[in-house]
Structure formats: structure tokens, C-alpha cells
Chains A and B, each alone.
Chain A
Amino acid sequence: MTEPHFLEVKHLAKRFGTDHGELTVFDDVSFGLDKGEFVCIIGHSGCGKSTILNVLAGLDSPSGGEVYMAGKEVRGPSLERGVVFQNYSLLPWRSALSNVEFGVRARFPGWSKSQVREHSLQYLHMVGLKDGAEHRKPAALSGGMRQRVSIARAFATQPQLLLLDEPFGALDALTRGTIQDELLKICTETHQTVFMITHDVDEAILLADRILLMTNGPFARVAESVKVSIERPRDRTTIVHDPGYYPIRTHLVDFLVSRSRELSERDDAVRDAGHSREARAQALAPVDVDPAAEARARAAGEAPPEALRTLHSTPAAAPLKAVNGR
């Protein structure tokens, strides 16, 4: 067994009781995050990404499985896990500064007023809020500004893990770009561990070290863990010229367009085959992929590296044959 990751998600499942019986949104979701890693998760709507994030945040409880952070089981919310929500979730009766101070005071209850203010202003300046904007109420700020405040609040509490739930989903492309740049810069400086939900493939490649791909729900799971082996520091204008960029992008789009569905069907067959719990868990475990390295290897005329071969000889292939041959 390998050394445990900083964040361990094991066989997470979420089931809802509905009028038509039980609905399993996701099942057997397992993955790990290392300290300082930036991981994005992509999947179609309804695969339960947000629920996974809420479970990591401690806001929601899973129907099965466990989450461990730094060896301790995650039960309930904690200041060690900062959350940035898609709808900003700023308290509208407080100014931008006061919203950040709210987080800082909760995190450092012993601090003096001036200490809290100084710390909060530092983080607001870091995300580019200055010249009086920090004293405005959220309603008087643009969507981009509000999300900056929300990001500042999360970073200011210095959590061990930062959870971002589609933070740029509601922003226009231009604003999204500048805030992505700032997030990239801050993460590079602080080596923050980040888990982020996104729908944007390009955003994921720009920001992430690894991208988790989820199959379609119901019974969604993390099917692949795609390594983004593109050198840092990255830049939005030059990243597209990296030889690894398009192989990764094609791999992701291909997954979203066809493989997410195909894998869902294959998973159904695996589940119906009635294997032992261990065999099933092994069959449904995520596969490591590195499309950029594969492309480089192909260009150099070498055999693909070890990580890639696993994709084409997944342990699940055997149970699948068994099902078909029945």
C-alpha cells in the first residue's frame, strides 16, 4: 500500500430516497490529493461534483465512504477547509472588508482589531480590491469583484485545503480570465492545496496539476485522473503553444463527449456482474493518465510510459469480458 495522501477520499457514495425508489448519484468515488496540489474535477451536470465538494467541506454527509484529511476523518465543517461558492456567499449587510474580517476573526479569535484589519486588507489587496472598493457593500460590487472578495476571505483564513465550487461559472469570459490569472499567481506563491469544480476544460488545464474526470450519473465515479504535465509558471496566452496542451485538451473533450457515457454503461455491467466488493472497487478505481507525456513519447517514437498502459489494460477489462461472455 502506498503512503496515504494528504486528502483521502474512499468509496464515497451518495444516495437519495425518491418517489421512485433510491437514487444513487455517485458510488465508489475514490481519489487522493497531495499537499500543495491543485486538482480540478470535471463531469457532466448531475454527477454529484458539488455534493462531493460539500462532503469535503463537511456541509453534507455521504451515504457511504469516508474522507480523511491529514489522517483525521472529516466530520462537519472546519476552518481548515475554506470554501468559495459559485454565488460568492458574501454577507450582504457587511462591506467587502468586513466580510473578510468576519473570516479572519473566526480563524484568529485572539487577534486585535487592528491586526484583523491589516491581515484582511492585505488579502483584499492581493486579489486587487483597493481604492475604496473594499469599503463597499457586495451589492455595489460587480460579480467579478464579489468573487475576488470571496476568494480573499477564503485565503485570509489560511485553510489547509481550499475548495472552489465553480468559482468563475457566473462570470464573463474577460473577468474570468483576469481572476484565473490572479488565482494562479496566489496559488503559486502560497502553495495552497486546492480542489476545484469547473465546467471549463481550458480553465482546468491552465490551473490544475491533475484533473479528475467523472462518469455520468447515476452511479457516477471518478474514472480518470489526468496529469497536466505542463511546466509552471503557466500563462494563458502561451499555454496553448505547449506541445502537451492539445493532447490533454483532446483527451478531456473526448472523455466528456463519449467516454463518460461509455464508462457509465460499462460500470453498470461491472456492478451487475456481482463481483466481490474488493474486485468491484478495484475495477472502479480511477486510472492515471498523462496525455502530454504520451504525446511526447509518441513524437519521440518511444513506447508510451507505464502510466498510460494502465489505461488500455484496466483491471475492469476482465470483468467486462466475463459479463459479455455470460
Chain B
Amino acid sequence: MLQSLNARALLVSLVLLVVTLGLWQLSHESPEVDTEMTEYERLMGGADQEARVPPPSQVIGLAVEELSNPFYDAGPNDKGIGIQLGYSIYRVLTGFGLAALLAIPLGFLIGMSPLMYKALNPFIQILKPISPLAWMPLALFIIKDSETSSIFVIFICSIWPMLINTAFGVAGVRKDWVNVARTHELTPMSTAFQVILPAAAPTILTGMRISIGIAWLVIVAAEMLVGGTGIGYYVWNEWNNLDLTSVIFSILMIGIVGMLLDMALASATRLVQYQE
């Protein structure tokens, strides 16, 4: 009898995985052909009339092959999955980092000053719901560089959750703690760094975690648009090549990298978490 909840959950997960993969694999098997193939059919390689999604066995085979040599570069249309993911991660981290540099100080300002909150709120409310991809044509026109434009798109979509969470976290710092800073004659700078920042850090980190999740969603679409390099471009390129095995493989890789980014931010959040 498995006592631990984790162990039992793992067992259920494994069963679900095996059942799903098994059904997928089985559904791929073409039906038995009982009649002799015509000459035409033989010439066509006995192909099934209906195209089928490649089975998991093929995907796993490709994954082993790709991951054993992830960083090869054989020209613009044939780069290793590691290189493609690397481009995407670089763009996400750059756009996200620039957004954090702007959003966190600005969020501090909005959170501290009711005036700035009221003054900036209409802009935030209008800009926030805009799909980041809608900025793409404007970005391409102004920046005139597809790579920088995709970084800009990441930047613009990462700003909002960080800005709003920072402002919310800063505005919600308990008045008692601010009073502690005041009675100890802390300068505004010391108050910001020693009291408000640690107090608001968990909320700010939660905003950053939401942002990086959105950024990773958006980069795939952005790279499909601008092309060239990156995992989004890779997916679209393999679709154009009708290589569905690679498409499924890269979908999985997008999921895994997204999970790792989220886990990194989650553990950073745990570092600054405190219990009241």
C-alpha cells in the first residue's frame, strides 16, 4: 500500500501517461488491408489516403535524435532545437528584464502616490488589454528590425502584470511597518529598500511570474510572425515542411521550457515569502 500522497499521485500520472500514449499509438496503426494493393497504390508507396498524426514512438525517436545534438547549425532552415529555444529564451529574458526595469520602479511610484495612481490609471487601463501582437506592425515600422521588434512585443506584454502587482503590493504595505520606518527616522530611500520592498516582494514576484508566463506564450506567436529564428519560427517552419513529428516535439519543448521558467520564478517567490 502506498502511503504517501505524492507517490500515489505519481502512480496515477504514470498510468494516465501510458494510457494516453498507448491509445495514441494504437490509433495510428492503419487498418488491415485485406485486398491486394493495385499497382497505383503500390506506386504510391501503399500510403494511407488519410494523413495521420505521427505516433508517440516517432516523436520520442525524433526527440532522442534532436536532444542528442541540440546545438547544430546547418544553415538558416536547419538549426538544432537548443539553438532555436536559446533564441526564444534570450528574447523573452531581454524583453522581460527591460519590462521589469521599467515596471517595478513605476509600480513603486504608483503604489506610493495616489496622485500618480489616478493620473496613470487611464493609460494603464487602455494599454493593458491590447494584444501584444497588435503592436508588431508599429514596432516593425519604427524599429525596423524584426529581432528587436519581437523583444519589444515581449517587453510590452510583460509590463502590465508586473506594474499592477508592484503598485498593488506597495500600496498594500501595512501602515504599521511604514510607521516603524518613520519612528526609526529612516530616509525615504531606506524605507523603500528596507521596509516597502521586502514587504511587497512576494506580490511583486507573483506579478513577475505571471509576466514571464505571458511572455513565453507571446514569443511563439511573435516568432511565427517575424520568422528567422526561435522556437515559434521552428514550429511554423516544420509545419510548412509538413514535418508533424517535429511540430509535436517542439510543442512539448515549449511546454517544458515554460514550466522551467515558471518554476524558477516560483522558487524566487518562495525566497522572499514571509509569514505574518
Contact = CB atoms under 8 A, between A and B. Distances in A.
Contact of B184 (A87, A103, A137): A103
B65 interface: no
Contacts of A103: 184
B183 interface: yes
Nearest to B176: A89
Interface string A97-112: 0000011001100000
Contact of B276 (A58, A77, A85, A139): A139
A57 B183 contact: yes
Contact of A79 (B185, B201, B272, B274): B185
Contacts of B57: none
Interface of B: 176-177, 179-180, 182-186, 194-195, 198-199, 201, 272, 274-276
A139 B275 contact: yes
B274 A93 contact: yes
A113 B276 CA distance: 27
A83 interface: yes
Nearest to A94: B198
Contacts of A43: none
A106 B185 contact: yes
A89 B272 CA distance: 19
A201 B198 CA distance: 39
A93 B272 CA distance: 8
B199 A93 contact: yes
Contact of A89 (B179, B198, B274): B179
Given A78-B185, A102-B194, A106-B185, A91 B180 contact: yes
26 contacts: A57-B183, A58-B183, A76-B182, A77-B182, A78-B185, A79-B183, A79-B184, A83-B183, A89-B177, A89-B179, A89-B180, A91-B195, A91-B198, A92-B274, A92-B276, A93-B198, A93-B201, A93-B272, A102-B180, A102-B184, A102-B194, A106-B184, A106-B185, A106-B186, A107-B184, A157-B184
A59 B182 contact: yes
Nearest to B174: A89
B275 A85 contact: no
Nearest to B201: A93
Contacts of A83: 179, 183
A91 B184 CA distance: 13
A89 to B, nearest CB: 4
B183 A81 contact: yes
A82 interface: yes
Interface in A151-175: 157
Top 10 A-B residue pairs of the complex, sorted by shortest distance between their CB atoms? A139-B275, A106-B184, A93-B274, A89-B176, A77-B182, A92-B274, A77-B183, A93-B198, A83-B183, A92-B276
A137 B180 contact: no
A59 B194 contact: no
B177 A91 contact: yes
Nearest to B182: A77
